[in-house]
Chain A
Amino acid sequence: MTNKIRVATTSLAGCFGCHMSFLDIDERMLQLVEVVEFDRSPLTDIEHCSNCDIGLIEGGVCNSENVHVLREFRANCKILVAVGACAINGGLPAMRNHIPLEECLNEAYLDGIGVENPQIPSDIELPLLLDQVRPIHEVVKIDYFLPGCPPSADVFWKFLTDLIDGREPSLPYELVHYD
Chain B
Amino acid sequence: MSKTITIDGKIIPFQDGQTIMDAALAADVYIPHLCHQPEFTPHGSCKLCTVKINGRNCTACTFPASEGQEVLSETQELIDDRKKITQMLFVEGNHFCPSCEKTGNCQLQAVAYHLNMLDNHFPLFYPDRNVDASHAEVMIDHNRCIFCTLCVRASQQLDGKDVFAVSGRGINRHLIVNGESGLLKDTDLDVTDHACSVCPTGAILIKRTGYEVPIGQRIYDHQQIDQVSLATEHHKHDE
Q: A residues bordering B, Cβ < 8 Å? A: 82, 85, 88-92, 94-95, 97-98, 132, 134-135, 137-138, 142, 144-147, 149, 170-171, 173-174, 176-179
Which of A90, A97, A173, A177 gathers the greatest number of chain B CB atoms within 10 Å? A177
Residue in chain B with minimal CB distance to A142: B119
CB pair B99–A92 under 8 Å, yes or no, is: yes
Report how many residues on chain B are interfacial, defined by Cβ distance under 8 Å: 27
Which of A82, A135, A147, A178 gathers the greatest number of chain B CB atoms within 10 Å? A178
Residue in chain A with minimal CB distance to B114: A173
CB pair A138–B98 under 8 Å, yes or no, is: no
The smallest C-beta distance from B153 to any residue of chain A, in angstroms, reads: 27
Report which of A94, A171, A173, A179 forms a contact with B97, defined as CB distance below 8 A: A179
Stretch among B72-80, B122-130, B180-188 lining the A interface: B122-130
Encode contact with A along B209-239: 1 for CB under 8 Å, 0 otherwise.
0000001000001101000000000000000
19 contacts between A and B (CB under 8 A): A85-B96, A85-B97, A88-B119, A89-B120, A94-B124, A95-B96, A95-B99, A97-B126, A134-B124, A137-B121, A138-B124, A144-B118, A145-B119, A170-B116, A171-B116, A171-B118, A173-B116, A176-B116, A178-B103
User: Is B90 in the interface zone, CB < 8 Å from A?
Assistant: yes
User: Is B112 in the interface zone, CB < 8 Å from A?
Assistant: yes
Residue in chain A with minimal CB distance to B103: A179
Residue in chain A with minimal CB distance to B129: A98
Encode contact with A along B124-152: 1 for CB under 8 Å, 0 otherwise.
10101000000000000000000000000
A98 to B96, CA, bound (A): 14
User: Is B104 in the interface zone, CB < 8 Å from A?
Assistant: yes
Q: Find chain B residues with CB under 8 A from A97 CB.
A: 126
The smallest C-beta distance from B76 to any residue of chain A, in angstroms, reads: 15
Q: Find chain A residues with CB under 8 A from B109 CB.
A: 178
CB pair B119–A178 under 8 Å, yes or no, is: no
CB pair B119–A137 under 8 Å, yes or no, is: yes
Q: Find chain A residues with CB under 8 A from B124 CB.
A: 89-90, 94, 134-135, 138
A75 to B105, CA, bound (A): 40
Report which of A82, A98, A134, A177 forms a contact with B119, defined as CB distance below 8 A: A82
The smallest C-beta distance from B31 to any residue of chain A, in angstroms, reads: 18
User: Is B113 in the interface zone, CB < 8 Å from A?
Assistant: yes
A176 to B112, CA, bound (A): 9
Q: What 13 additional pairs, Cβ within 8 angstroms, besides A89-B90, A145-B118, A170-B116?
A: A89-B95, A89-B120, A91-B98, A92-B98, A95-B94, A97-B126, A132-B126, A138-B124, A171-B116, A173-B113, A173-B116, A177-B113, A179-B104
Q: Find chain B residues with CB under 8 A from A92 CB.
A: 96, 98-99
Given that A92-B96, A178-B112 are known contacts, is A98 also in contact with B128, CB under 8 Å in the complex? yes
Given that A98-B128, A135-B124 are known contacts, is A147 also in contact with B98, CB under 8 Å in the complex? no
